[in-house]
Amino acid sequence: MPNAQGLTKQTVFAKQSALGTPATTGGKIKRRTNSVFARNVATYEGNEIVEHQQSTGSTAGIQQTSGKLDGLLSAGTYTEQFASLLRKDAAATTAITGLSLTVAGTGPTYTVTRTGGDFLTGGIKAGDVVRITAGAVNANNLNKNLLVVSLTALVLTVRTVNGSALTAEGSIASCTISVPGKKIWVPTSSHTNDFWSVEEWYPDLPRSELFTDCKIAKSDVAIPATGNATVSFDVPGLNRVRSGTQAIASPAASTTSTVLAAVNGAVIVNGVATTITGAQLSINGNIAPGEAEVGSNSITDLVRGEIMVTGSFTAKFSGVTLQDIYDQQTVVKLFLVIADGSGAAADFVTFVMSAVKLFGDNPDDGEAKEIIRTYPFTAQLNGSGGASLADHQTILSLQDSQSP
């Protein structure tokens, strides 16, 4: 009999139509560096005191499943998992057409001004990456990733994600501004409640392990100064079904988008580009098992708590701006943009938190090294955001340029 091998194993995610209804189609193979899914059983040790002074054994109790998917972050690969975690389906922003635009500034920030209308009612928010995708504009301004640092009804203040220059010009008629891909943010109402079937398919044997009624409970993102951005998802579930045939038929192939690297991104703290040496972000949906029932060895549902967002970033100690933000407990905006290259229209994923507090500034030390300080942060709901305003009323929004 052959042995199962990691290289040939497939991890397939398929969204269920409802709790208790395992998916059999619509699956997608997930790229991964590692995936481990297991059935776990609680055990109860007999703690009787008996004259023979030996254990009288253990009893099996409630069963659940646990899962963890680790990967390298790439555009379009994990959008659906992030959407389930943030409890909102990804949505596109309608392109704004027929604009007369003026580009001004000498860098690193520029303004893009329209002659009439309203960027805010058009759905653009601070932290969005936009592109001028149509119009007789200078080639330096066309189809280039522009990070919106701030905005008013008529003016976008932007930075180019790849650090290149824009060319001042205008007014140029018949322009279009597009928001690439789709966005997700934690809503204030109408939250989705997704369940997933996850299949670990071992074609060498062949054997299938189908984990059902799973939820995306938590995600951790790591952004090193050099190297690949990484992502992981915690995926608890309720049951496992084993068989000799593939349970989720004809899953779609893995995505082929390029892995994202922080060297091609940007970090904006309080409206200012900040040189950091690394960042970590944790999004926790606080998923917990429901109550056990007498006469059953399984849990019937997973319950949700409030979404919490925490993290930290490290930066060279070159000034006191970040320390002042920490000492004064100033609520600031934090934008993280990670791209797959230095091209003007490179694919990207953004994480936008418009209400963040810093909770530390610990330094390191050592010979022949620059001093690095660590700034832990916690995001919170931006109660000042909302429709037709500069920010979403949310704790976190995410934009993926290749979102399906």
- The closest of 281, 256, 83, 112 to 186, measured between CA atoms, is 83
Which residues span the domain enclosing 149?
A: 96-180
CATH number of the domain encompassing residue 316: 2.30.110
Same domain, 229 and 354: yes
Edge-to-edge order in the sheet of strand 10-15: 28-29, 10-15, 196-202, 207-214, 239-243
In a domain? residue 197: no
Report pLDDT for 84: 98
Same domain, 222 and 146: no
Same domain, 127 and 258: no
CATH number of the domain encompassing residue 122: 2.40.30
Report pLDDT for 201: 98
Query: What's the CA gap between 83 and 240, in Å, rounded?
Result: 24
Same domain, 171 and 296: no
Report pLDDT for 1: 72
Same domain, 282 and 348: yes
Same domain, 388 and 320: yes
Query: What's the CA gap between 47 and 27, in Å, rounded?
Result: 46
In a domain? residue 246: no
In a domain? residue 169: yes
In a domain? residue 208: no
DSSP annotation of 228 reads B
* Assessment of whether the complete model's pTM goes beyond 0.85: yes
Same domain, 158 and 306: no
In a domain? residue 152: yes
Same domain, 108 and 167: yes
Same domain, 393 and 361: yes
Same domain, 272 and 165: no
Centre a 10 Å sphere on the Cβ of residue 59 and count the other Cβ atoms it contains.
10
Report pLDDT for 53: 92
Regions of the chain short of the pLDDT cut 70: none
- The closest of 218, 235, 194, 203 to 23, measured between CA atoms, is 194
- Over the range 11-38, which residues count as b (16 or more CB within 10 Å of their CB) and which as e? bbbbebeeeeebbeebbbbbbbeebebe
Taking the CA atoms of residue 17, residue 21, residue 26 and residue 29 in that order, the dihedral angle to the nearest 10 degrees is 120
Same domain, 227 and 366: yes
Q: Domain total for the chain?
A: 2
Same domain, 128 and 71: no
Report pLDDT for 263: 83
